[in-house]
Amino acid sequence: MISFSEKIFSILSVSEWNERSSKRQLCHMPGVFPESADLISWGWLEDFLNREYTRPELFRFFMSGRPVEPGRFSLIDQKGQLDRTALRPLLTQGITAIFNSLDSSSDYFWQEAIKLEQALGAVVSLDAIGSFGTVCGLPPHYDDRDLIIVQVAGRKRWKILGTPIEGPWRKRTRPVPDSVTDEFVMQAGDMLFVPAGLYHQCVPLEPSLHLGALVTRPCGADLLKMIQPQWETTDPGLGTRLYACEGETDLGQQDACLKQALIRLVQEMDVTALTRAWLAQKQRPLRAGLLGTGGKPADRR
């Protein structure tokens, strides 16, 4: 069985993937993954749907650039489970389905995610997107994570809009760029790297299926959140009560003292060590196996 991680590192080295991430470079690689059909199939996704319908949070649906609200289309039954019978008519209308966290349901994808995490120094999840017709699925959008995409079946036209935005992790609403900076068709066997923050829109030209690795790296705000609980005990300057009215204290001195305490703490930060600590908290354990339904190890690919 083909190893997804080994294959992508034979196409580009780890340092080359990381270089594209740091420089935020879009990279379309036609025909480099001819074995893509061995990774996943429509039948495998149907099994995934039938197996995980009790976890509706793993599925998202879109059509004509809008999300398909499960409640409006009666996709969630009285037990809070995905109603596959109600979903089938939408499939024939060309709905786009996002299958989240394939690694939560397959030992193969779980282990491949581990390999990608350890090699790239990041947190990785594996998703699939299936478009069942030629109707535009998602609206123009950007992702707050880097994407490594393999086209498995069908063709899909991509439009790249503008250039990557700053601070994509904040995921705030922004005007969609007017300019189309690149346009191409993804075919089976193609790979694509999309940096976080780059607006894009995709239109399937026929039923289309792709597998994506979503690569998350920490930003400065993540590190600050991680160490903030320790700061009050680390520096007494952060434990001083603050006032907002004249008379209780010298507000200018209060301002200067707090900023000095923050500067001391920031200067003492070891960013590399904190990044490694963040990854240690977020990455899956090296030797972990997947616990499937019923708590038993399962290799379900």
| pLDDT tens profile 39-94 | 999 999 999 999 999 999 999 999 999 999 988 889 999 999 999 999 989 988 89
Does the pLDDT value for residue 279 go beyond 70?
yes
Q: Do the domain assignments include residue 23?
A: yes
Residues 207-232 have pLDDT tens digits of 999 999 999 999 888 888 888 877 76
Q: Are strands 156-161 and 180-186 parallel, antiparallel or unpaired?
A: antiparallel
151 and 258 part of one domain: no
Q: What are phi and psi of 51, to 5 degrees?
A: -85, -35
141 and 197 part of one domain: yes
32 and 128 part of one domain: yes
HSE, CB side, 13 Å, CA atoms: give it for residue 130.
Answer: 18
Q: Do the domain assignments include residue 149?
A: yes
201 and 91 part of one domain: yes
265 and 196 part of one domain: no
**Is the backbone of residue 121 left (phi > 0), alpha (psi -120 to 50) or beta?**
left
203 and 230 part of one domain: no
Q: Do the domain assignments include residue 287?
A: no
Please report, for the domain that includes residue 212, its CATH number.
2.60.120.650
CA pair distance 50, 204, nearest whole angstrom: 24
212 and 245 part of one domain: no
State residue 7's pLDDT score.
96
176 and 237 part of one domain: no
130 and 37 part of one domain: yes
Q: Do the domain assignments include residue 263?
A: yes
Counted domains in the chain: 2
pTM of the model: 0.87
CA pair distance 21, 211, nearest whole angstrom: 19
Q: Do the domain assignments include residue 260?
A: yes
Q: Which residue has the higher pLDDT, 17 or 239?
A: 17
Distances (CA, A) of 133 to 23, 50, 205, 240, 267: 35, 21, 8, 62, 55
State residue 91's pLDDT score.
87
Q: Which residue has the tokens 């434990």?
A: 239
58 and 163 part of one domain: yes
Domain span at residue 248 reads 220-269
149 and 260 part of one domain: no
Q: Do the domain assignments include residue 169?
A: yes
Does the pLDDT value for residue 237 go beyond 90?
no
State residue 289's pLDDT score.
44
State residue 167's pLDDT score.
84
State residue 141's pLDDT score.
93
Supply the angle between the helices 14-23 and 107-120 in degrees, to the nearest 10.
70
201 and 259 part of one domain: no
